[in-house]
Structure 1
Amino acid sequence: MEKLNIFLEHIYEACSQRGKTLPNMLSEAGKMGYTGLECDLWRLDDRELLRTFSGCGMRAVSVYGQYDLAHDAAGRSAEKMKRHLDTAAYFGAGIILVIPGFFRPEDDRESFFGRTCEQLSVLCEMARQYGITVTVEDFDDVNSPCCDTNGLERLLNGSQGLRWTFDTGNFAYVLEEPAQAYSRLRRYLSHVHIKDRSRDSFRGFTDGSNAKADISGALMYPCECGGGYVGAEQLVKRLIADGYTGTFSAEHFGAADQQEYMRRSADNIKGWIK
């Protein structure tokens, strides 16, 4: 059952925390039930990672990258798009996730959305030639055009061929209910990040660096999938009941014990999707 993915950055975090090598931690992840990787584009500049992944029974399923589509010249964006698609194709990933850019104080937001949708449509057309699906996610930053349901819907409606990666934990940042957001956006769904949020301060680092305030100012902490308050289990079961047949990617950047959170998330998610 190749349904479970983990972020490559989590693997590196776990290596750092536990003093293990990349191949060793990839193998550990495989034993937990993970078979796929969510990869940051810049990491994959090292093409030798393909051999490492394959040797550990892992594969890239999605590659994410940051853009500034509203502000960069079209030529610069096109170069980044081609690099993104070429890299995803090389590693065999069928999905890319685009972080499209961020509002600046001086931006006219109508123009920002128009330009961003225009460039996303260009990327989707390029991706069609590769057989790759382009997605955006609900992104937890108030300066992101897709931080909430309204912004996401505007990008998805306005960009020809664009699809959605549902991050179950990021609507909590803007105090929206993920189940309601899903109901509005489900027709665009192509991929899922399972993220949970906790209010428990014991999950925080002593320097506070892994805490994130929602828009009300209340602190959220990373936790294993199923260990928080967003209703991850109910969301996953609803997706399956609604016919979703894709994979699920566990996400908990900044975990106090990344390897342990990976293990708990895998155990929980496997129980939900069996």
Structure 2
Amino acid sequence: MAVLATFYDHIKEIAKQENIPVVEAMKEAKALGIEKLEISGNNILGREDELGQELAYTELGISGIPAYFDFGRDLDVKKQSEPILEAARYLGADKLLVIPGFLQEQDSREVQEKQIQNMVDSVNALAELAAGYGVALVMEEYDSFDSPFSTIAGVRRFLDGCPRLSCAFDTGNFRFMAEDELEAYEGLRDRITHVHLKDRAYTQANGENGKTARDGVVIYPAPVGFGDLKIEELISRLKRDGYDGVYTIEHYDTNRMLDYLRQSAAWVKARI
């Protein structure tokens, strides 16, 4: 059964913007139909007990853990990953969204290629280690020029090189690299097990900061379904292909987080 989720970072932003405690912001999200939270490793490590209590009190689950690594330069997979895997097991998270590292512009193409292969090899090693914790690995196309997995081809290289890795399809990140989201879906749909619902708008609202895409177009955050991307068609194709998992609503950088979440949740619930 399809499940609505959002990011714990969004919950914290709601608490800040609305001047309410984090637990109250979690309750607001729950009332809108959010059932799970995606909580980054940065928010978890050292706060496992506190987070566990927050989740239990608000009856929210955890849909996954985005975690940053530096596998391009540091091949000690076990040392980098064990703390977050232990936290995942403690909190009952069964997915780790792996962000294996970033490239540096000043490095030669040869050095960058070696680092990318190190990342692929390390993700393979991490997948084997994570399986022992009951945790599966997913990867999204990360919207950064320094990311070797920011394009269709970049994500596909990791998927093809890592049999246990699956795709966390982000509906909005391919636009950052000037790629079409429907084309991206068709190229990756055989490995999708997790979805981030992110819309983008070409016009500014509420004075929010935009992000300049590879083709020079400035893109702004938008409630899901209210921007300029083909979100409704993507959901239709996901349902056509039998996807029935987590849909994580995402709109970083908005200064109206609760309002955006309210609009997004209502729009998505009507379509899944």
Which of 140, 150, 153 is matched with 2:153 structurally?
A: 150
Residue identity in the other structure for 2:158: L
* One-letter identity of the residue aligned with 2:17: Q
Match of residue 35 from structure 1 = 35
Hey, what's the Cα distance between the residues in 2 that align with 1:94 and 1:226? 28
Structure 2 stretches lacking a partner, 5+ long: none
Contact 1:7 1:38 in 2 (8 A): yes
1:199 corresponds to which letter in structure 2? Answer: Y
Matches of 1:178 and 1:78 in 2, distance apart? 35
Q: Structure 1, unaligned stretches of length 5 or more?
A: none
What is the alpha-carbon distance in structure 2 between the residues aligned to residue 99 and residue 204 of structure 1? 30
Matched, 1:63 2:62: no
Which of 115, 119, 122 aligns to 2:118? It is 115
Distance 2:54 2:115 in 1: 40
**Which residue matches 2:19?**
19
Aligned mates of 2:173, 2:197 — CA distance in 1:
10
SS in 2 for 1:61: strand
- Closer, same or farther in 2 for the Cα pair 1:2/1:25, shift >3 Å? farther
Structure 2 distance, partners of 1:52, 1:38, is 14
Matched residue of 2:270: which SS? Answer: helix
Give the ranges of 4+ consecutive aligned residues of structure 1 lying more than 6 Å apart after TM superposition.
Answer: none
- Alpha-carbon separation, structure 1, partners of 2:120 and 2:130: 15
Partner of 1:240: 239
Q: Which residue of 1 aligns with 2:166?
A: 163
- The answer to whether the aligner puts 1:49 opposite 2:51 as a matched pair is yes
Q: Which amino acid aligns with 1:266?
A: A
Q: TM (normalized to structure 2)?
A: 0.95
- Cα distance between partner residues in 2 of 1:220 and 1:63: 26
Instruction: Look up the SS of the partner of 2:65 in the other structure.
Output: strand
Corresponding residue number in structure 2 for 1:265: 264
Return the letter of the residue paired with 2:117.
G
1:83 is displaced (CA, Å) by 1.4
Task: Judge conservation of contact 2:2–2:245 (CA < 8 Å) in 1.
Answer: no
Match of 1:176 in 2: 179
Per the TM alignment, residue 20 of structure 1 is displaced from its structure 2 partner at its CA by: 0.6
Q: Residue 146 of structure 1: SS of its match in structure 2?
A: coil
Separation in structure 1 between the aligned mates of residue 207 and residue 157 of structure 2, nearest angstrom = 35
Who is 1:255 aligned against? 254
The CA deviation at 1:89 is: 1.4
Q: Within 2, Cα distance between the matches of 1:54 and 1:119? A: 34
Counterpart of 2:52 in structure 1: which amino acid? L
Task: State the identity as a percent.
Answer: 31
2:91 corresponds in structure 1 to 91
Offset of residue 2 of structure 1: 6.2
CA apart distance, 1:160: 3.3
Cα RMSD (Å): 1.3
TM-score (normalised: structure 1)? 0.94
Number of residue pairs matched? 267
SS of 1:201's equivalent?
coil
